[in-house]
Structure 1
Amino acid sequence: MNRLSQNVARTFAGGVERVTSAALGPYQTAVIRIGFAATWLLFLLREFPHRQELYGPAGPWSWNLARQLIDGNHAFTALMWSDSRLWFELCYLFAVLASAALLVGWRTRTASVLFMVGVLSLQNRSVFMGDGGDNVLHLMSFYLVFTRCGQVWSLDARRAARSEAARARGERVPADRVGPVLWALSGAVLVTATVAGRFGGSWLVPALLWAAWAGLGLWWVAGRWTRSREPRMLLDVLANVLHNAGLVVIMAEACLIYATAGWYKIQGSRWQDGTAVYYPLHLDYFSPWPALADLMSASGVLMTIVTYGTVMVQVAFPFTLFNRRVKNVLLVLMMTEHAVIAVVLGLPFFSLAMITADAVFLPTAFLLLLGGWAARARGRLARRGGTGRVPPPRAPEESTAGHVGFRA
């Protein structure tokens, strides 16, 4: 009995150490950061000519209708702070810039918060604009705030590697000036919005914004103004715990999406008789390539296989996480399915959002291989441009970035 209790205690202690000592899944979180930021950025750029009709004053869902809805559900959106066209244009531009910053991993901590603000502001302004992928993006933008998603494949990681290399050579690393400026500007905006009562009945998002702002300030103070390492180590442990918890929530959310979708499909008569996939292929709204849709729907056997296969894959996926090989096979099937949906049904952003959510389960070895291909391609482009060889980024375990808003 004593030996059993010792083994349990040892296992528990090892688990606690693993959760608190490092931010797990650095490459997986980097992929979902890049994927969701790219999805939202590409959507905003594609819809730029139609932005007024989608989210602005010229849309069918007017500002007054949005005001009435938000007064009831207390959703957060900065677009309700003013009904002027100039304010809308500034918010739309803000969302584009925040997405681009998160995509390249520039000041990732701050960029993830700004990205969430941009997503919530536009989507909560016009809740009926979306294709399903917006719901996934809506949730994931919130979860990304808790992750250290800039450990690898980011400008933050590159800057940290260069600073560490300079310290190793005995060179003086110049103090960061951009971070404190961003922190001060963010604080001024938060104070102004709070005093002016712009947050209204919403409390969750403002509380998260204030907590993130205070946390970044504490991180900077602990790294710059305290000689003791204990405060910085404590903050590092807290950041690791939040990251790992956020990563688990993201994985659970992806499983929940597929599980609920699969079980609801089972209850539908069209899914039961194997004809559900046939009907969307013949809707004008979902038929960018009518000839291709007709070709696919001409085979009843193919429609039945796709219909039943979709249900089985979605229902089975959460249970395959305990078997790596089966899980990887289903990942390929699901990503292929979403790629087909993007082309055949004309839903590229929905498919891209779902593929990004699936990517959190990709093996690290595959992501490292993918990163190696991208690094070699970037190196070839750099040599063609005459800029020389680009140094490889440092491993995430060695990262020691420590400025306001930049720690992944």
Structure 2
Amino acid sequence: MNVEKNTAKILPVLFVTYGGLFTLGLIDNLRGPLFPSILSHFSINSQTGSLLFAPSSLAALITSILSPWWLNLFGAKKSMILSLSFMGVGSLFFSLASLAGTSFWPMVVGAITFGIGNGFCSICINILLGEVAPVSYRRQLFSGMHAMYGLASLCAPMIATLFGPKLWPYAFLLSMAPAFIFLLTALATLPQDSRTPLPESRPKTTLPLGTGLFYPGLMLALYVCAEVLLSTRLSQYLEHALHWDYHKSMTYNFYFFMCLTAGRLLTAFLPIKLNNQKMLLISLLASLTGFTLGFRYPFVFLLTGFFMSYFFPLTMDSVTERFKEMAPAYIAKAIILGGILLSSMHYLVGLVTDNWGIRAALLPGPICLFLALIILLKFEFRKNLKGRG
């Protein structure tokens, strides 16, 4: 009877959290492959085009900062419903922007709206899953959930290729479908939740260096910057720096996300005996090496995607185990730090691309991975992540 009760409790949460991250990943990763087409459609440069990304990250940042307030007000379930609603509306703005002629501002509005949904989703999915996941399967369930982001990332270049450079608005229109489906699912199946306040009683925008949450949060934020930079700008790099045609660059983009998905699926389903700390170390070392060698040998970018793949879910598993009731605070702080870095990174990448080229704009990626590696090796997160195997 207990097994049936637990299953009835876990399955709706799994479906909505997995589906929510799939929705986020699909909309998020459509922007990268379609970025050159969007620049061409609106006749804008990369610096202006960075407004497709930077306001989104800033909106996610502000939403994350306010998370103690809205989690206490709405609870995780209602916040997840808000997340799916905002992401769907953001995608609608993206798809209708071409009707506004050459005005790029509807895209910016869409980016802000999607960013708000992103901020809700990034926190809610990890809290909801962490609350119901059995300890013995938590690592696999987190990896499986983040594999959904990889799966969505895999679908994104396929959809971009399907519609081509001229019909890109329809790609965003299609991406609304999962948002609508999982929104209805959340409304129908998620159990009523209690308020889920973070351990802090009120929102905190400052992150003192003394807290045990700062360095692990910064490490995760640096990793996210590197992954987002590579995943959103790879097709632009291949087209403009290496002069590949649209379909060839989309094919490589597809292979990159296929490796990203494969790594997360393997982590979810294979009984890997290495502890989390060693796995994170391998991920950062291999990703740093691959990102650097990719400038010389582009196929190495694909392997980079594989080794990047499991860093985020294993970090989530580690902090849930280590920080327990403080895990939601960690997640919020990591997302806040990531939002700060991503907001500035997207603008600077656009600025550097226009002045020195996309190759130079990708250089912060290896730098972020190197700094994340230093944090893993040198700071307190090292002892916090001592593994179980």
Q: TM-score normalised by the shorter chain: which range applies?
A: under 0.3
TM-score (norm 1): 0.26
TM-score (norm 2): 0.27
Query: For the pair shown, which has the larger CA radius of gyration, 1 or 2?
Result: 1
